[in-house]
Amino acid sequence: MKQTLNMSLLTLAGALTATVVMLAFSDAAQGNSDAKPSAPGSKAATRTDAQKQIDDGRQIFRFDTFGDEAFWGDTLRLHQAIAGQNNGGVGPGVSPKTALAVGLKVDAEALPAELQQQLRTGGVNLDDPATTVALLRLGAVVGVKGLFDSSGNLKSMGVTCALCHSTVDDSFAQGVGKRLDGWANRDLNIGQIISLAPNLRPYTDLLGVDQATVKKVLASWGPGRFDALLDKDGKAFRPDGGQAGTVIPPAFGLAGINLHTWTGMGSVPYWNAYVAVTEMHGSGTFFDERLNNSARYPVAVKAGTANVRNTPDLVTEKLPALHVYQLSLAAPKPPQGSYDAAAAARGQQVFSGRAKCATCHVPPLYTEPGDNLHAPSEIGIDSFQAERSPTGKYRTAPLAGLWTHQKAGFYHDGRFATLLDVVEHYNRVKQLALTEQDKRDLVEFLKSL
C-alpha cells in the first residue's frame, strides 16, 4: 500500500504534484492528521488516487495507441491511403466528407477557434484529403492518432479505444462535436476502413486466404460491427452465410457487472488486455490458456495469441487506470421527451412481472449479480457466436443506456432491428402472451433506461 502510494506520488507530474506534496507537508507540520493525504486508506488519499486514475484512464482511453501504429501505419500503411497521393500517400486519399461517411467523428474541441469559424462559414474544403491530414495533425479525429515526421508529413497512424467506443454529440455538425466517451460508435464502418489499407498481408497470411476473400469478410460487417474472434477461430461467416461480426457495445455502465462482452469472455480488464494486444495490435502482454486449443482456435494457436509477451509492454501498466476510467462512466439518462413516461411506468410492471425480464435483467444493473451467462436455448437463439467463445454462452446484456445504441440492431449481431422486434422475439420463444399494449409499454420502458 505504502509503496503504491509512494509510487503514485512519484508519478504525479507537474503543478498538481507540487500542490499535493506541499499540502501533505504543511498538514503534517501543523499536526493536522485528519487531512493528511499521505495516510493510506484515508478519505483524502483515496480520493486523490481515484481522481488520478480517472484522469489517467481518460487519457489512455482517448489517446493511447499502445504502440499499435506499428500495425495500422507501419505495416498496413493505412495512413498512406488516408493521405492520398497528393499528400505523400497512395490513391485518392480520404476526404473529411468520406471520413464522416464511414462513421469517423471529429472532436470540435480540438479545433482552433479560427478553424471552427472557417468550418461554420464553409471556408474549409471538406473534399480534400489534405484537410483530413490537417485534422489528424490537430488530434481531432476521434480514436485515430496521426504520427508526423519533422517536415510535417503523415508518417504513420495508430488507433485508440475511442475509435469504436466514443462518438460526438453532433453539436457542431453531423459527426462533429464534443466527445461522448464510452458511447458505441454504431456509424463506424470498421471493415470498410481496414479494407482501404494498401497492405492486407497480415490478414491474408494469418487467415490463409487471398486478398479478395479478406475484403469480402471486411465488407460483410457493415456499420457498427467488428469481429474480435476472426483472428482466433478463423470463422469469417456464420454457417448460414450471414456476417459474423458483433455490434460494438457501450463502454459505459460497466461498474458492478461481472462478465463482459456478448459472450462473457471475461472481466473488463481481461477484455481490455485482449483488445489492446490482440485486436488493436498494441505492444503488450496477453495470456489466456483457453485460446491454446487448435480445434477451436486454430488461428490463435498459429499466431501464438494465447500467450503474447511483446517488449516493450505498453499495455499492462495502463490496465488499472483504464479499468477505473471505464467504471467511472455511468450510462447516460435518456433525454426528456424521448419516451412516453406513463407507458414506460406500465412497461416496468410488465418487465418485472408477467414478462419475467427482470429475472435475468436484474435492476438496476439489468444483468445478473453473479454468473451472468445463459445457454443460447434460454434466450431462444442459435449457438454460433456463443460457441466461438470459451464460455459457450451468451451474457445477459446490461440495458442501461440502451437508447444510445439503437442503430445497427440489438442482440450480439444486431439481428433485431428494433426494440419491438426484441420484445416480439421473447414473446414468441417464451410464450409470454403479451398484449399489443404490453409490448408497446415494454419498448417505452426499455427506451427509458
Q: Which residues sit at the interface with ligand HEC, rule CB under 6 A? A: 159, 161, 163-165, 190, 226, 228, 246, 248-249, 251, 254, 260-263, 268, 271-272, 275-276, 280, 322, 326, 355-357, 359-361, 374, 378-379, 394-397, 399, 410-412, 419, 422-423, 426, 442, 446
**Shortest reach from residue 9's CB to ligand HEC, in Å:** 26
CB of 210 to ligand HEC, least distance (A): 23
- Least CB distance to ligand HEC at residue 43 (A): 29
Q: Which cell is 63 given?
A: 489517446
Q: How far is the CB of 101 from ligand HEC (least distance, A)?
A: 18
Query: Quick check: 228 and 275 in contact, CB under 8 A?
Result: yes
| Nearest to ligand HEC of 27, 181 (CB atom) | 181
For the CB of residue 245, give the shortest distance to ligand HEC in the complex, in Å: 7
SS3 content of the chain, % helix, strand, coil (to 5): 45, 10, 45
Residue 76 or 228 with smaller CB distance to ligand HEC: 228
Q: Smaller CB distance to ligand HEC: residue 32 or 377? A: 377
* Residue type present at position 16: L
Residue whose entry in the numeric block shows the C-alpha cell 492518432: 145
Half-sphere exposure of 242 (CA within 13 A, CB side): 11
Measured from the CB atom, is 215 or 430 closer to ligand HEC?
430
Q: Which is nearer to ligand HEC, 83 or 275 (CB)?
A: 275
Cell 479545433 sits at which residue? 111
Give the separation between CA 44 and CA 47, rounded to whole angstroms: 5
- The DSSP bridge pattern shows strands 166-168 and 373-374 to be unpaired
Dig out the grid coordinates for 10 from the structure. Answer: 512519484
DSSP letter at 243 equals B
Rounded to the nearest angstrom, the gap between the alpha carbon of residue 184 and the centroid of all alpha carbons in its chain is: 6
Q: Which is nearer to ligand HEC, 81 or 254 (CB)?
A: 254
Cell of 149: 515526421
Least separation in angstroms between residue 356's CB and ligand HEC is: 6
Partnered with residue 144 across adjacent β-strands are 159
Choose between 154 and 314: whose C-beta lies nearer to ligand HEC. Answer: 314
Give the shortest CB-433-to-ligand HEC separation in angstroms: 12
How many helices (H) and strands (E) are present in the chain, helices listed first?
A: 20, 12
- The answer to whether the CB of 243 falls within 8 A of the CB of 237 is yes
Residue 284, H or E segment: none
